[in-house]
């Protein structure tokens, strides 16, 4: 018998402590790395903090950087509740971004509400379709979803790249990108002259929806049952194949929103290679947030802050922006190896389990 | 172990228990489901940390026990649920976590040591077979060998015989006796009183988290043990009123259970009838169970439930028929162990408008019904929010029974329904099945326990190598004739009722 099953609330608190400890540990290690490399960690972190939260604009920047991570985090979390490891967020968000850009361009001239809604939905549908395809291959052909998703990532992002290098390439443009979407069809900015748009509200709304889905609906319950124990779920009359495909479609839609909000929020067009790996960072965000939608809001904020602060850190303290990737990598490492963190927590928190 | 107290929230699983085992004895630990046996042993093995009390080994008090330290002190444990890695071979499983050699595993040395141990205790294990191919009995031996390989002198076995066939159980007991002769100390948890008296030197009995008796096996009787476990006299007999059979509810036609079986099986179960399938496990029981529930597909054959052919229905459509299904492997097939009891109650009921309306879970109705069923079936738990995995083995089984029976089924498929239950709970399960029969349900009972089969069944079929050897009214069999059939020997019989 395993030592599972502690009452609900302390379990949540415990996971929170673990996630916090992972973050603290990685910041500590990053400090050491900086010391060894001869930088001033205090100055660096000070600059980072300043860059992330020092002014209204900095905060806006942090929030805007956290939006795509939020969605890819949700995407990964939802799939993993259903027992699927969705590493295909990157492909899903590329196709979604392309679909929403094409839709907005095609419907040019129609009322704002119509175009905005249609292109959001088109993006979700495209992302969902890529997700469902991966789910179907897993469920019907019994091929591991990780391998399929990695291949699909390549296929889809190369396809998108081809489209904006060829047929959809903006006239007179040097770079591979689509035509610009008229600014009336984009998300409104929350703080003027910043990149923070109302897409943030969409993210928060989806966190609430996802929470509700798993807490109170049959669909959410079926997904969890399949993820927890597929055999028992099948005995209870839940179709494993349908649930796997469905949850991957849902996950793909959420990942798709990351692409949609980048296109309709930040760039106003599809730009080749716009994602610096949101799909993959989303995995870390979800795991650190222990697959809880509100936890993910918090961790995406943290990752957003790291990104936003890195610029300032680099020109104030001269520490390369790559340091942020080191910190993110360390966080992932610690989250993935709970043993290390549990040692740490136990020593710090006194005798928890004796 | 002295004054051990372990609490889970409001629940005191072990209440100041003193437990003492002597070198070189077989010590049985008895008690009802949820009495705290597994908990006490998990404390001894360092998996759980007690709130009070201390563990002493050879007179030395041990603090901060962990499984690793327990192994170093010579304590090994075979859990109620196995913990083997399926796709590794026996040898690999045995040496896992304790491989000889510094960087590269020294297979030769490992093999020699394991083989020597295996021979010493007559284990008869094929070290190169992948674990997934083994029978439960063999898996268990691998687990035991693993503890021996790690140098255990005190070996804890948590309900090892619950999943074994009678022959395998007998073999295990003789292995245990062997180990005792060679100086090992064994702590043995079981619900079977006969085994206890057979093999034990001394017996400790737990009830409600307290230690209530320590006695020597030589002078104990089954009645006495039962009384001490339950706290009052136990009547072993149960009452089964005569009942006229109704219409055919389930008809199995020409279904092939095992690929190499010589013939297919066909039988009928009527309303108000308990049809018992006797036989040693591994003779097609699992297949029959899964085919009826639609978990594996078969070629050929038909299974009619009333007028519909089940084999043509989807899983979900089948579930709408509200079968009660008590699977033989409750943890794998009927429960979500990290999920609350309340939500486990929903599993299989998720299309019932009482619990889910317009896709929304009716939390209040669900909680109330869960609690009511748990009270009615005496499932001992702290709350409906507790996870299913934290229930004691027997209580998990009762919970599944409660959930399935609450569907007011027309057809019940009960597979090994009393496995791992204490005597009181067995009687309870028997009574529930008989009540369902009185209410007109058709019941297919698959059990390896002859006592189940004889006490409950109206009609008995004996399964051997995927074939039904004989189907007759219950009265037409006696212990001996059925044992012969279970071993595959068909007597020359004039009235072959085998259809
Ligand atoms: N992790 C846990 N969290 C909460 N309660 C627990 C936990 N583990 C055990 N319990 C409770 O402690 C009590 C004793 O459980 P234990 O598993 O020791 O019983 P047992 O004697 O082994 O019973 P069985 O014969 O059914 O296996 C049970 O009521 C069980 O619900
Ligand atoms: Mg137990």
CATH number at residue B205: 3.40.50.300
Q: Which of A228, A233, A235 sits opposite B325 (nearest CB)?
A: A235
Distance CA A131, CA A252 (A): 4
**How many residues in chain B?**
499
Q: Which of B213-217, B341-345, B492-496 has the lowest mean pLDDT?
A: B492-496
> Do B119 and B206 lie in a common domain?
yes
How near does any CA of chain A get to the CA of B390, in Å? 6
**Cα-based distances in Å from B417 to A241, B35, B421, B424, B484:** 30, 20, 9, 14, 24
Closest CA to A281 of A328, A337, A338: A328
> Do B6 and B137 lie in a common domain?
yes
Phi, psi of B467 (to 5 degrees): -125, 150
pLDDT mean over A100-128: 95
Q: Does A174 touch chain B (CB under 8 A)?
A: no
The two tokens of residue B150 are 């790690």
Distance CA B362, CA B376 (A): 21
For A249, residues 6+ apart whose C-beta sits below 8 A from its C-beta are A128, A129, A131, A132, A135
Residues of A in contact with B353 (CB under 8 A): none
pLDDT of residue B467: 84
pLDDT of residue A241: 93
A38-49 in b/e burial notation, b at 16+ Cβ within 10 A? Answer: ebebeebbbbbe
3 state DSSP class of B207: strand
Distance CA A138, CA A132 (A): 10
Is position B308 within any domain? Answer: yes
> Do B136 and B191 lie in a common domain?
yes
> Do B441 and B476 lie in a common domain?
yes
CA of B410 to the centre of ligand 1 (A): 33
Ligand 1 binding pocket includes B424 (Cβ within 6 Å)? no
Q: Which of A1, A218, A238 sits opposite B80 (nearest CB)?
A: A1
State how beta strands B356-357 and B360-361 pair: antiparallel
pLDDT of residue A299: 92
**Which of B168, B196, B230 is the last residue before a domain boundary?**
B230
More reliable by pLDDT, B224 or A130: A130
More reliable by pLDDT, A101 or B113: A101
When pLDDT is cut at 50, 70 and 90, the band that residue A76 belongs to is very high
When pLDDT is cut at 50, 70 and 90, the band that residue A4 belongs to is very low
> Do B441 and B401 lie in a common domain?
no
> Do B77 and B218 lie in a common domain?
yes
Strand (E) or helix (H) holding B369: helix B363-376
pLDDT of residue B492: 44
How near does any CA of chain A get to the CA of B350, in Å? 7
| Winning range, highest mean pLDDT, from A249-263, B118-132, B415-429 | A249-263
pLDDT mean over A245-269: 96
**Which of B391, B407, B423 is the last residue before a domain boundary?**
B407
> Do B438 and B425 lie in a common domain?
yes
Ligand 1 binding pocket includes B13 (Cβ within 6 Å)? yes
Label residue A230 exposed, middle or buried (CB < 10 Å: 0-12, 13-18, 19+).
middle
Residue B185 Rama label (left phi>0; alpha psi -120 to 50; beta): beta
Q: Does B321 touch chain A (CB under 8 A)?
A: no
Q: Is the dihedral of CA B38, B41, B46, B52 positive or negative?
A: positive
Q: Is the dihedral of CA B36, B41, B44, B45 positive or negative?
A: negative
Strand (E) or helix (H) holding A20: helix A8-37
Taking CA atoms, what residue in A is nearest to B382? A7
pLDDT at B120 over 70: yes
For A139, residues 6+ apart whose C-beta sits below 8 A from its C-beta are A240, A241, A242, A244, A245
> Do B400 and B417 lie in a common domain?
no
Distance CA B429, CA B415 (A): 12
Strand (E) or helix (H) holding A56: helix A56-81
Distance CA B456, CA B430 (A): 7
Is position B251 within any domain? Answer: yes
C-alpha radius of gyration, chain B, whole number: 24
- Hey, what domains does chain A have and what are their CATH numbers? 67-309 (1.10.3470)
Distance CA A61, CA B478 (A): 82
**Cα-based distances in Å from B257 to A190, A294, B448, B463:** 66, 50, 17, 10
Q: Which of B38, B314, B336 sits opposite A229 (nearest CB)?
A: B336
Tokens 């791992």 correspond to what residue? B420
When pLDDT is cut at 50, 70 and 90, the band that residue A148 belongs to is very high
Residue whose CA lies nearest to ligand 1 atom number 2: B390
Q: Does A143 touch chain B (CB under 8 A)?
A: no
3 state DSSP class of B329: coil
**Which of B205, B230, B255 is the last residue before a domain boundary?**
B230
More reliable by pLDDT, B258 or B38: B38
Q: Which of A50-54, B64-68, B213-217 has the lowest mean pLDDT?
A: B64-68
pLDDT at B347 over 50: yes
Q: Which residues pair with B26 in a beta bridge?
A: B186
> Do B396 and B499 lie in a common domain?
no
Q: Please count the residue pairs, one from chain A and one from chain B, whose beta carbons lie less than 8 angstroms apart.
A: 97
pLDDT at A251 over 60: yes
**Whether the Cβ atoms of residue B51 and residue B17 lie closer than 8 Å to each other:** no
Q: Sheet of B308-309: strands edge to edge?
A: B265-270, B248-255, B302-305, B308-309
- Domain holding B401, by residue range, is 334-407
- pTM of structure: 0.82
ipTM of predicted complex: 0.80
Number of folded domains that form chain B: 3
Residues of A in contact with B347 (CB under 8 A): 225, 232-233, 236
DSSP for A99-162 reads HHHHHHHHTTTS-HHHHHHHHHHHHHHHHHHHHHHHHHHHHHH---HHHHHHHHHHHHHHHHHH
> Do B94 and B26 lie in a common domain?
yes
Share of chain B above pLDDT 70, in %: 94
| Winning range, highest mean pLDDT, from A65-74, B104-113, B204-213 | A65-74
pLDDT at A216 over 50: yes
Is position B329 within any domain? Answer: no
When pLDDT is cut at 50, 70 and 90, the band that residue B497 belongs to is very low
Distance CA A244, CA A144 (A): 12
Share of chain A above pLDDT 90, in %: 55
> Do B221 and B344 lie in a common domain?
no
pLDDT mean over B356-363: 89
Ligand 1 binding pocket includes B398 (Cβ within 6 Å)? no
Is position B208 within any domain? Answer: yes
Is position B328 within any domain? Answer: no
When pLDDT is cut at 50, 70 and 90, the band that residue A20 belongs to is confident
pLDDT at A3 over 60: no
Strand (E) or helix (H) holding B250: strand B248-255
The two tokens of residue B74 are 């010579």
When pLDDT is cut at 50, 70 and 90, the band that residue A350 belongs to is very low
pLDDT at B498 over 60: no
Residue whose CA lies nearest to ligand 1 atom number 9: B390
When pLDDT is cut at 50, 70 and 90, the band that residue B499 belongs to is very low
The best mutation among B80, B230, B335, B391 to test binding of ligand 1, ranked by most ligand atoms within 8 Å of the C-beta, falls on B391
Closest CA to A223 of A239, A203, A207: A239
Cα angle A303-A308-A310, degrees, rounded to a multiple of 5? 95
> Do B313 and B341 lie in a common domain?
no
Ligand 1 binding pocket includes B35 (Cβ within 6 Å)? yes
Is position B401 within any domain? Answer: yes
pLDDT of residue A30: 87
Return residues 213-232 of A near B (CB < 8 Å).
Answer: 216-219, 221-222, 224-225, 228-229, 231-232
């Amino acid at each position: 018998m395993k030592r599972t099953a502690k009452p609900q609330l302390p379990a949540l608190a415990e996971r929170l402590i673990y996630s916090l400890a992972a973050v603290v540990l990685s910041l500590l290690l990053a400090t050491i790395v900086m010391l060894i490399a001869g930088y001033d960690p205090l100055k660096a972190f000070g600059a980072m903090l300043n860059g992330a939260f020092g002014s209204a604009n900095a905060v806006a920047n942090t929030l805007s950087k956290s939006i795509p991570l939020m969605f890819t985090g949700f995407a990964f979390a939802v799939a993993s509740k259903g027992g699927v490891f969705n590493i295909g967020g990157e492909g899903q968000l590329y196709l979604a971004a392309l679909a929403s850009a094409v839709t907005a361009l095609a419907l040019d001239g129609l009322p704002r509400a119509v175009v905005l809604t249609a292109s959001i939905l088109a993006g979700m549908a495209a992302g969902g379709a890529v997700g469902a395809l991966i789910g179907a291959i897993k469920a019907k052909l019994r091929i591991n979803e990780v391998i399929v998703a990695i291949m699909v990532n390549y296929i889809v992002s190369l396809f998108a790249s081809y489209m904006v290098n060829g047929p959809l390439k903006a006239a007179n443009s040097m770079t591979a990108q689509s035509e610009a979407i008229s600014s009336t069809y984009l998300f409104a900015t929350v703080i003027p002259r910043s990149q923070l748009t109302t897409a943030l509200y969409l993210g928060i709304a989806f966190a609430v929806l996802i929470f509700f889905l798993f807490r109170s609906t049959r669909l959410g319950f079926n997904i969890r049952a399949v993820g927890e124990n597929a055999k028992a779920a099948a005995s209870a009359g839940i179709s494993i194949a349908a649930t796997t495909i469905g949850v991957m479609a849902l996950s793909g839609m959420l990942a798709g929103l990351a692409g949609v909000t980048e296109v309709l929020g930040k760039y106003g067009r599809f730009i080749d290679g716009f994602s610096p790996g949101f799909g993959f960072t989303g995995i870390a965000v979800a795991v650190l947030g222990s697959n809880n939608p509100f936890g993910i809001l918090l961790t995406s904020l943290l990752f957003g802050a790291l990104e936003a602060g890195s610029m300032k850190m680099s020109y104030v303290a001269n520490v390369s922006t790559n340091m942020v990737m080191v910190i993110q990598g360390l966080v992932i490492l610690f989250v993935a190896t709970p043993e290390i963190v549990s040692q740490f927590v136990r020593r710090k928190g006194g005798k928890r389990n004796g | 172990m002295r004054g051990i107290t372990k609490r889970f929230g409001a629940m005191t699983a072990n209440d100041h228990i003193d437990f003492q085992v002597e070198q070189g004895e077989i010590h049985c630990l008895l008690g009802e489901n949820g009495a705290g046996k597994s908990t006490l042993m998990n404390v001894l093995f360092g998996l759980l940390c007690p709130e009070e009390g201390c563990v002493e080994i050879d007179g030395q008090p041990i603090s901060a026990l962990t499984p690793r330290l327990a192994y170093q002190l010579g304590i090994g444990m075979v859990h109620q649920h196995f913990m083997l890695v399926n796709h590794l071979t026996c040898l690999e499983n045995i040496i896992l976590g304790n491989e000889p050699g510094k960087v590269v595993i020294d297979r030769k040395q490992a093999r020699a040591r394991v083989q020597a141990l295996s021979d010493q205790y007559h284990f008869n294990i094929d070290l190169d077979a992948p674990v997934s191919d083994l029978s439960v009995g063999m898996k268990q031996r691998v687990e035991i060998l693993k503890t021996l390989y790690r140098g255990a002198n005190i070996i804890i076995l948590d309900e090892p015989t619950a999943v074994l066939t009678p022959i395998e159980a007998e073999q295990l007991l003789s292995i245990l006796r062997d180990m005792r002769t060679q100086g090992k100390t064994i702590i043995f948890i079981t619900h079977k009183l006969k085994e206890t008296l057979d093999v034990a030197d001394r017996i400790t009995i737990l009830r409600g988290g307290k230690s209530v008796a320590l006695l020597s096996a030589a002078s104990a009787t089954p009645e006495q043990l039962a009384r001490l476990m339950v706290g009052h006299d136990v009547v072993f007999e149960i009452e089964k009123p005569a009942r006229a059979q109704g219409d055919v509810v389930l008809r199995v036609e020409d279904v092939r259970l095992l690929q190499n079986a010589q013939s297919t099986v066909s039988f009928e179960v009527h309303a108000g009838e308990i049809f018992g399938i006797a036989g040693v496990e591994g003779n097609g029981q699992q297949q029959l169970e899964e085919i009826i529930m639609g978990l594996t597909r078969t070629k050929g054959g038909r299974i009619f439930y009333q007028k519909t052919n089940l084999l043509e229905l989807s899983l979900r459509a089948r579930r709408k028929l509200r079968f009660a299904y008590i699977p033989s492997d409750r943890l794998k097939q009927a429960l979500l162990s990290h999920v609350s009891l309340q939500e486990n109650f929903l599993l299989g009921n998720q299309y019932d408008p009482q619990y889910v309306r317009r896709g929304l879970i009716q939390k209040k109705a669900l909680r109330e019904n869960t609690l009511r069923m748990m009270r009615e079936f005496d499932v001992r738990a702290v709350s409906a929010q507790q996870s299913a995995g934290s229930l004691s083995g027997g209580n998990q089984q009762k919970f599944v029974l409660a959930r399935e029976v609450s569907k007011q089924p027309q057809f019940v498929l009960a597979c090994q329904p009393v496995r791992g239950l204490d005597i009181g709970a067995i009687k309870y399960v028997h009574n529930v099945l008989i009540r369902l029969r009185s209410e007109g349900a058709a019941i297919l009972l698959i059990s390896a326990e002859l006592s189940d089969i004889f006490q409950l069944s109206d009609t008995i079929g004996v399964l051997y190598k995927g074939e039904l050897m004989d189907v007759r009214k219950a009265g037409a069999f006696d212990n001996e004739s059925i044992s012969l059939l279970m071993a595959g020997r068909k007597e020359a019989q004039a009235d072959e009722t085998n259809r």
